[in-house]
């Protein structure tokens, strides 16, 4: 049958790309079909970059399309199993480390920068670590390879061309509506066009944008899941001068803090030196904040941005962590007319709204031009507000100036990977032949582990078929 395949991959993000790559590398004759609700990478263009205003593209070109949200991210590859997901817990540290190394070699093959941050700077890192310890912060040491937004786009373009040349069929602008399952065994998928495609191996690599869809699939088909972690917080923007040492020696300082008031975990995530704060849009027009940075010198700014994410774990009877994160983001959108709320830290800690007048006094000029000055205390629960405040004060002891009144806070940043799917060491669910991988299944939390995850899933599929 023309609609019969060996493997169907849902989602063309990093995990899906690297899964398809490994399948064709090891078994060129395999029939591999990939579905992607967004566009091919050359057609992924955001009108807001010219109009400065979101026009509501459906689907959003920033979060969907070939390479997923990674295509327009800062493109940081965390080269340690200690960062970016749960592969070490599932596979063991050594295997996770080896897979990350293999994924890194593929990125290098397709043009990634050979420079790695956080290596050969032992004296400087020891100095940063000492200051972190004094502030009760934990510095997680992790080498980082920075692709850059524009260079990452080129690398993923080459990967798309390679997969197509190797015979991977990619159906863009096509939504998988249903996964076909009979008697606990996967049979294939049905698209939003009413077409059925069949395979005895179906892999869901749907990313954060598709996490809610997959949560509903799991519920309908009794795929075993458990509550994952909800990460919600703000994106901080400060002058490069304040972050100079951390940026130059580590590029991205992985710092974790347990707050004195509530013992909540707060972490620094996705640092973008000389970067820009940006907006991501999800289905339904939900706007959340993010950030990126370019490699090209003429595209750099004077500001560094990074996320502060408060991790929350829920117990029974609560079963809707994704809805919880979206509820907070929607509240922020409601108060800012569908845009991102911006508040000076000085106003944040005094419980007052930031105004255009106060913002105009700042040395720091916002890079997200359509953000709305407002009051984040009307958005976040008190506990999250306290956690953010205590984390900023702790960070100020490592790199003085972060707790300046002029520091900018953008809200809401939330990561939708909290539908944690129960999988075995081959990432197979309790449904035979249905595997899942990447951020959308709450297995990974970044480009590198997602890419490594795809390689492992491909090898597990090949082992069964052989």
Domains of the chain with bracketed CATH = 7-112+147-226+420-465 (3.50.50.60), 122-142+229-415 (no CATH)
C-alpha to C-alpha distance for 9 and 15, rounded to whole angstroms: 10
- Paired with 88 in beta bridges are none
C-alpha to C-alpha distance for 143 and 101, rounded to whole angstroms: 12
Tokens of 463: 């082992």
Distances (CA, A) of 131 to 139, 313, 437: 10, 29, 37
Q: Residues with Cβ < 8 Å from 284, sequence gap 6 or more?
A: none
The pTM is what? 0.87
The sign of the dihedral angle between the CA atoms of 341, 347, 352, 357 is negative
C-alpha to C-alpha distance for 465 and 10, rounded to whole angstroms: 19
Q: If you ran DSSP here, which 8-state letter would residue 432 be given?
A: B
SS3 464: helix
Per DSSP (E only), the strands in 314-394 are 341-344, 372-373
Per DSSP (E only), the strands in 365-438 are 372-373, 408-415, 419-421, 434-436
What length is written for the chain?
Answer: 466
Angle between helices 447-465 and 93-109 (to 10 degrees): 100
C-alpha to C-alpha distance for 245 and 200, rounded to whole angstroms: 52
Q: Is the distance from CB of 208 to CB of 14 less than 8 angstroms?
A: no
Instruction: Kindly report the number of other CB atoms within 10 A of residue 380's CB atom.
Output: 22
Tokens of 158: 């080459």
What does the pLDDT profile of the chain (466 residues) look like in tens digits? Answer: 579 999 999 999 999 999 999 999 999 999 999 999 999 999 888 766 666 666 667 777 777 889 887 777 778 899 999 999 999 999 999 999 999 999 999 999 999 999 999 888 889 999 999 999 999 999 998 999 988 878 888 999 999 999 999 999 999 999 999 999 999 999 999 999 999 999 999 999 998 888 888 988 999 999 999 877 789 999 999 999 999 999 999 998 999 999 999 999 999 999 999 999 999 888 778 999 999 888 888 889 999 999 999 998 777 777 777 788 889 999 999 999 999 999 999 999 999 999 999 999 998 999 999 999 999 999 999 999 999 999 999 999 999 999 999 999 999 999 866 578 999 999 999 999 999 999 888 899 889 999 999 999 999 999 998 8
Q: Is the distance from CB of 285 to CB of 297 less than 8 angstroms?
A: no
Q: Residues with Cβ < 8 Å from 285, sequence gap 6 or more?
A: 56, 333, 338
């Amino acid at each position: 049958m023309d609609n019969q395949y060996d493997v169907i991959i849902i989602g063309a993000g990093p995990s899906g790309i690297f899964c398809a790559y490994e399948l064709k590398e090891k078994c060129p004759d395999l029939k591999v079909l990939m579905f992607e609700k967004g566009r091919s990478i050359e057609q992924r263009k955001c009108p807001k970059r010219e109009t400065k205003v979101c026009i509501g593209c459906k689907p959003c070109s920033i979060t969907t399309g070939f390479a997923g949200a990674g295509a327009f991210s800062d493109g940081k590859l965390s080269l340690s199993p200690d960062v970016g997901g749960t592969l070490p817990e599932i596979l063991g540290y050594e295997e996770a480390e080896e897979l990350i190394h293999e994924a890194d070699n593929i990125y290098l093959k397709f043009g990634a920068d050979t420079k790695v941050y956080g290596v050969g700077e032992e004296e400087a890192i020891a100095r940063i670590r000492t200051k972190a310890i004094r502030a009760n912060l934990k510095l997680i040491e992790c080498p980082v390879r920075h692709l850059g937004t524009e260079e990452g786009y080129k690398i993923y373009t080459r990967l798309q061309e390679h997969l197509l040349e190797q015979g991977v069929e990619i159906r863009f602008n096509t939504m998988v509506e249903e996964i076909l399952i009979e008697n606990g065994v996967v049979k294939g998928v049905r698209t939003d066009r009413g077409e059925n495609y069949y395979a005895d191996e179906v892999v869901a690599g749907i990313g954060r944008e598709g996490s809610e869809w997959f949560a509903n699939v799991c519920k309908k088909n009794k795929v075993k899941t458990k509550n994952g972690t909800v990460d919600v917080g703000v994106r901080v923007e400060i002058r490069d001068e304040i972050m100079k040492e951390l940026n130059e020696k580590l590029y991205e300082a992985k710092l974790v803090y347990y707050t004195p008031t509530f013992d909540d975990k707060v972490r620094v995530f996705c640092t973008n030196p000389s970067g820009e704060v940006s907006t991501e849009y999800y289905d339904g027009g939900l706007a959340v904040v993010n950030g990126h940075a370019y490699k090209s010198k003429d595209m750099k700014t004077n500001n560094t941005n990074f996320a502060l994410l408060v991790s929350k774990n829920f117990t029974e009877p609560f079963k809707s962590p994704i809805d919880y994160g979206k509820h907070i983001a929607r509240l922020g959108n409601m108060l800012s007319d569908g845009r991102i709320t911006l508040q000076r830290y000085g106003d944040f800690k005094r419980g007052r709204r930031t105004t255009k007048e106060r913002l105009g006094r700042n040395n720091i000029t916002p890079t997200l031009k359509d953000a709305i000055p407002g009051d984040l205390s009307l958005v976040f629960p008190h506990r999250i507000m306290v956690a953010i405040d205590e984390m900023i004060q702790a960070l100020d002891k490592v790199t003085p100036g972060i707790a300046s009144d002029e520091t900018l806070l953008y809200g809401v940043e939330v990561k939708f990977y909290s539908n944690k799917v129960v999988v075995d060491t081959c990432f197979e669910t309790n449904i035979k032949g249905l595997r899942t991988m990447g951020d959308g299944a709450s297995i990974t939390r970044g480009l590198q582990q997602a890419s490594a995850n795809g390689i492992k899933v491909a090898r597990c599929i090949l082992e069964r078929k052989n």
